[in-house]
């Protein structure tokens, strides 16, 4: 179930403001929205099945659709449209299909027919592949129905002009299959087709990576070998659209589900998401996955492999990294910071942070050929220093932290690994020296260009560790980690506040308190993450970006505020007035100013 749609269902008012001097002005000058006409981005939540095709970024294509618009009939009488930009000239006779008693899933079915049609045109109607695809897209679940009762979906009946459709659609939907518990592991019988398994189909987010030749490279759920056919079908869809001039497939939408494509030759990345994220956010997600693959192989090596062997099985080169990538994509779901392009920083007393910063910078200054050095703990940044002129991108830090934290072998021994940081230089490897300090969770990472530097870095690390120990800094960090590193929202003494995420834009770092009542359990956390994704989507919508958004519902008030120096996303008590909300946020901002040096490592540490 999508949290964002969940919010929308309960929303009473939405206010948008473009330019205002203060948050107070902004909110006071707003004209209120109404229940009947909320200021939603209509295409996001309407019942359309939209296939977005275009040459540019997904957002930019929305205004340029047009030449193709087809009406489909169904028994309830409402009209669903399939729209696309200047392509896919589909034969009307075969697309139109009649459906009877289609609860909840009708739009998905049309989407699927559309997809089927595209596929049939490309391969002359391979029946087997069509069926597989059908079961995949039928799994799109209508969110609004979902809220009412997740398990109450009736059987689906579709009568159609095409024999493929009949066989494909009616078969997989029995009542029994709709009783789903997505937490159960996937059944492992070889003969079972994943697309027939409800556990697999109902995952909130699917991820597929395959090569241009359609060979699977990675799938988040299930075994790649058993998804070969599905990858082949997706590759066919992609190539049909891409074969037309200047077009690229970006996304397909059905109710509650968005299928997003990222084509980075020689790879194609696809996600099927029921998370209510925007195209932009999904592309960001796919970009992280692509960057991860580059971090293992480097871009030139990747393209070289596929130029020489176009049907190479890339899993051979990526073997051993599956768990690391699994963890990365799961982390993306858990941490809002991925969307913000910011890294989490561990709160530490300012003098301690200063001292660690200077120790680290000092140790780097004495080591030639070093580019970056970081100290991390528990997936959070403690200190970072860089060679003059070079910048370490937050997304690279994320990939690095994920790799270091997921691989257990680093914890027992010093390690020396090649890693490519795609945002820094996708063309080559850096070499990372990784050392956990005294087997504590605190980890030191040096990044150097020269592959023969291990011994001098080990030496430098030994110096750093002994200084950290003798100055007592290591113990202070460990002590801080168990006490001050995690703060609650109560410590801000803003009573109206339930939770917030604050990003310091200049440092690309974010901070947020531990999640408290009423979002403590997993479901609550998911709802909270949904709120933030929703606010982020609205505030960074390319056609209607907002500086301040206030959303009020029966259960909470959401507030988003983006300025040049920070981004703030907050969840407040629902019962307060706008005025109180503004006062609360201003109080929070004062607290933030005061605690800034504790929460972030603001001053950029540079050595030369």
Partner 1 sequence: MDAWLFNERTGGLAATATDGVEECGSAKKFSIAEDPDTVVCDESFVHKTILVGDSGVGKTSFLVQFDTGKFQHGCFAATVGIGFTTKTVLTPEGSVKLQIWDTAGQERFRSITHAYYRDAHALLLLYDVTSKSSFDNIRAWLAEIKEYAHDDAVIVLIANKADMQSSRVIRREDGERLAAEFSVTFMETSAKNGHNVTHAFQMIATNLRQRQYFPRSKLINITPADDDVPPSNRSSCCGR
Considering only 418, 427, 472, 542, the residue that binds partner 1 (CB under 8 A) is 418
- In order, the DSSP letters of 61-111 are GGGG--SEEEEE--TT---EEEEESS-----HHHH--EEES--S-HHHHHH
* HEC string for 227-242: HHHHHHHHHHHHHHHH
> From the CB of 442, what's the least distance to partner 1, in Å?
15
> From the CB of 296, what's the least distance to partner 1, in Å?
7
Phi/psi of residue 433, nearest 5 degrees = -100, 125
In angstroms, rounded to a whole number, what is the distance separating the alpha carbons of residues 428 and 451? 12
Q: Are 105 and 254 in contact (CB under 8 A)?
A: no
In angstroms, rounded to a whole number, what is the distance separating the alpha carbons of residues 266 and 104? 37
Q: What is the DSSP letter of 57?
A: -
Q: Are 156 and 256 in contact (CB under 8 A)?
A: no
> From the CB of 398, what's the least distance to partner 1, in Å?
16
> From the CB of 108, what's the least distance to partner 1, in Å?
36
Closer CB to partner 1, residue 250 or residue 410?
Answer: 410
Q: Are 415 and 402 in contact (CB under 8 A)?
A: no
Considering only 290, 336, 410, 561, the residue that binds partner 1 (CB under 8 A) is 410
Tokens standing for residue 66: 């047009």
Q: Which of residues 317-336 bind partner 1 (CB under 8 A)?
A: 317-321, 323-324
**462 is a contact residue toward partner 1 (CB under 8 A):** yes
Closer CB to partner 1, residue 239 or residue 406?
Answer: 406
**211 is a contact residue toward partner 1 (CB under 8 A):** no
Closer CB to partner 1, residue 147 or residue 417?
Answer: 417
**316 is a contact residue toward partner 1 (CB under 8 A):** yes
**186 is a contact residue toward partner 1 (CB under 8 A):** no
**526 is a contact residue toward partner 1 (CB under 8 A):** no
Q: What number of chain residues touch partner 1 (CB under 8 A)?
A: 30
In angstroms, rounded to a whole number, what is the distance separating the alpha carbons of residues 220 and 319? 14
In angstroms, rounded to a whole number, what is the distance separating the alpha carbons of residues 214 and 237? 11
In angstroms, rounded to a whole number, what is the distance separating the alpha carbons of residues 465 and 460? 9
Considering only 24, 39, 299, 417, the residue that binds partner 1 (CB under 8 A) is 417
Site string for partner 1, 239-278 (x = CB under 8 A): ----------------------------------------
Closer CB to partner 1, residue 478 or residue 541?
Answer: 478
**185 is a contact residue toward partner 1 (CB under 8 A):** no
Residues sharing a CB contact under 8 Å with residue 507, sequence separation 6 or more, in sequence order: 345, 600, 601, 602, 604
Tokens standing for residue 511: 């901070």
Considering only 38, 177, 186, 454, the residue that binds partner 1 (CB under 8 A) is 454
**455 is a contact residue toward partner 1 (CB under 8 A):** yes
Considering only 34, 92, 151, 459, the residue that binds partner 1 (CB under 8 A) is 459
* HEC string for 550-570: EEEECCCEEEEEECCCEEEEE
> From the CB of 411, what's the least distance to partner 1, in Å?
10
Whose CA is closest to 172, among 205, 119, 136?
Answer: 136
The span of 210-218, 278-286, 351-359, 408-416 binding partner 1 (CB under 8 A) equals 408-416
Q: Which of residues 366-405 bind partner 1 (CB under 8 A)?
A: 403
**432 is a contact residue toward partner 1 (CB under 8 A):** yes
Tokens standing for residue 402: 């994920």
In angstroms, rounded to a whole number, what is the distance separating the alpha carbons of residues 243 and 237? 10
The span of 8-16, 140-148, 277-285, 454-462 binding partner 1 (CB under 8 A) equals 454-462
Closer CB to partner 1, residue 315 or residue 547?
Answer: 315
Closer CB to partner 1, residue 455 or residue 594?
Answer: 455
Whose CA is closest to 286, among 363, 208, 348?
Answer: 208
Considering only 193, 313, 333, 414, the residue that binds partner 1 (CB under 8 A) is 414
In angstroms, rounded to a whole number, what is the distance separating the alpha carbons of residues 170 and 97? 14
- Reduced to 3 states (helix: H, G, I; strand: E, B; else coil), residue 234 is helix
- Reduced to 3 states (helix: H, G, I; strand: E, B; else coil), residue 14 is strand
Closer CB to partner 1, residue 93 or residue 412?
Answer: 412
Tokens standing for residue 147: 């809220």
Q: How many CB atoms lie within 10 A of CB 100?
A: 11
Considering only 416, 500, 519, 531, the residue that binds partner 1 (CB under 8 A) is 416
Closer CB to partner 1, residue 80 or residue 460?
Answer: 460
**62 is a contact residue toward partner 1 (CB under 8 A):** no
**415 is a contact residue toward partner 1 (CB under 8 A):** yes
Whose CA is closest to 571, among 512, 483, 491, 493?
Answer: 512
Q: Are 577 and 14 in contact (CB under 8 A)?
A: no
> From the CB of 449, what's the least distance to partner 1, in Å?
15
Site string for partner 1, 286-315 (x = CB under 8 A): ----------xx------------------
**39 is a contact residue toward partner 1 (CB under 8 A):** no
List contacts with partner 1 (CB under 8 A). Answer: 296-297, 316-321, 323-324, 403, 406-410, 412-418, 432, 451, 454-455, 458-459, 462
């Amino acid at each position: 179930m999508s949290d964002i749609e969940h919010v929308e269902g309960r929303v009473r008012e939405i206010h948008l403001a473009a330019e205002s001097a203060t948050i107070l002005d902004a909110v006071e000058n707003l004209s209120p929205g109404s229940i009947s006409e909320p200021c939603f981005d209509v295409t996001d939540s309407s019942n359309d099945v939209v296939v977005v095709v275009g040459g540019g970024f997904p957002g930019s294509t929305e205004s340029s659709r047009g030449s193709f618009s087809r009406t489909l009939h169904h028994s309830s009488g409402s009209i669903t449209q399939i729209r696309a930009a200047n392509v896919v000239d589909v034969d009307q006779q075969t697309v139109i299909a009649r459906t009877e008693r289609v609860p909840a899933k009708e739009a998905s079915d049309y989407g699927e027919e559309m997809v089927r049609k595209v596929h049939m045109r490309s391969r002359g109607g391979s029946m087997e592949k069509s069926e597989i695809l059908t079961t995949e897209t039928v799994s799109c679940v209508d969110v609004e129905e979902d809220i009412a009762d997740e398990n109450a979906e009736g059987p689906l009946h579709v009568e159609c002009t095409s024999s493929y459709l009949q066989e494909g659609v009616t078969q997989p939907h029995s009542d029994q299959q709709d009783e789903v518990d997505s937490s159960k592991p996937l059944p492992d019988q070889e003969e079972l087709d994943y697309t027939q398994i409800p556990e697999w189909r109902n995952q909130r987010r699917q991820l597929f990576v395959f090569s241009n030749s359609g060979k699977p490279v990675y799938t988040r759920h299930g075994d790649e070998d058993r998804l070969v056919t599905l990858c082949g079908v997706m590759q066919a869809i992609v190539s049909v659209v891409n074969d037309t001039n200047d077009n690229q497939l970006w996304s397909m939408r059905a109710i509650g589900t968005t299928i997003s494509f990222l084509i980075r030759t020689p790879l194609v990345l696809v996600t099927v998401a029921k998370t209510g994220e925007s195209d932009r956010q999904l592309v960001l997600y796919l970009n992280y996955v692509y960057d991860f693959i580059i971090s293992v192989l480097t871009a030139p090596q990747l393209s070289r492999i596929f130029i020489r062997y176009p049907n190479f099985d890339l899993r051979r080169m990526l073997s051993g990294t599956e768990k690391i990538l699994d963890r990365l994509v799961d982390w993306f779901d858990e941490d809002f910071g991925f969307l913000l392009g910011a890294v989490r920083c561990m709160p530490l007393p300012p003098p301690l942070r200063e001292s660690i910063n200077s120790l680290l910078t000092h140790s780097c200054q004495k080591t030639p050929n070093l580019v970056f050095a970081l100290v991390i703990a528990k997936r959070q940044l403690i200190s970072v220093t860089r060679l003059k002129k070079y910048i370490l991108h937050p997304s690279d830090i994320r990939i690095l932290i994920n790799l270091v934290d997921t691989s257990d072998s680093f914890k027992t021994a010093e390690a020396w690994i090649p890693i490519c940081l795609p945002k820094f230089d996708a063309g080559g490897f850096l070499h990372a020296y990784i050392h956990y300090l005294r087997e504590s969770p605190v980890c030191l990472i040096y990044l150097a260009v020269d592959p023969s530097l291990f011994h001098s870095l080990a030496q430098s690390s030994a110096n750093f560790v002994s200084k950290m120990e003798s100055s007592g800094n290591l113990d202070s960090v460990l002590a801080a980690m168990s006490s001050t590193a995690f703060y609650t929202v109560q410590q801000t003494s803003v009573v109206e506040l339930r939770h917030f995420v604050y990003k310091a834009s200049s440092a690309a770092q974010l901070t947020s308190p531990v999640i408290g009542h009423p979002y403590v359990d997993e479901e609550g956390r998911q709802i909270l993450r949904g709120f933030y994704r929703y606010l982020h989507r609205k505030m960074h919508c390319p056609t209607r970006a907002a500086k301040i958004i206030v959303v009020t519902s029966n259960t909470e008030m959401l507030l988003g505020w983006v300025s040049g120096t920070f981004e703030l996303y907050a969840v407040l008590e629902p019962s307060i007035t706008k005025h109180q909300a503004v006062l609360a946020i201003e109080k929070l901002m004062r607290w933030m100013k005061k605690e800034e040096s504790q929460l972030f490592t603001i001053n950029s540490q540079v050595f030369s």
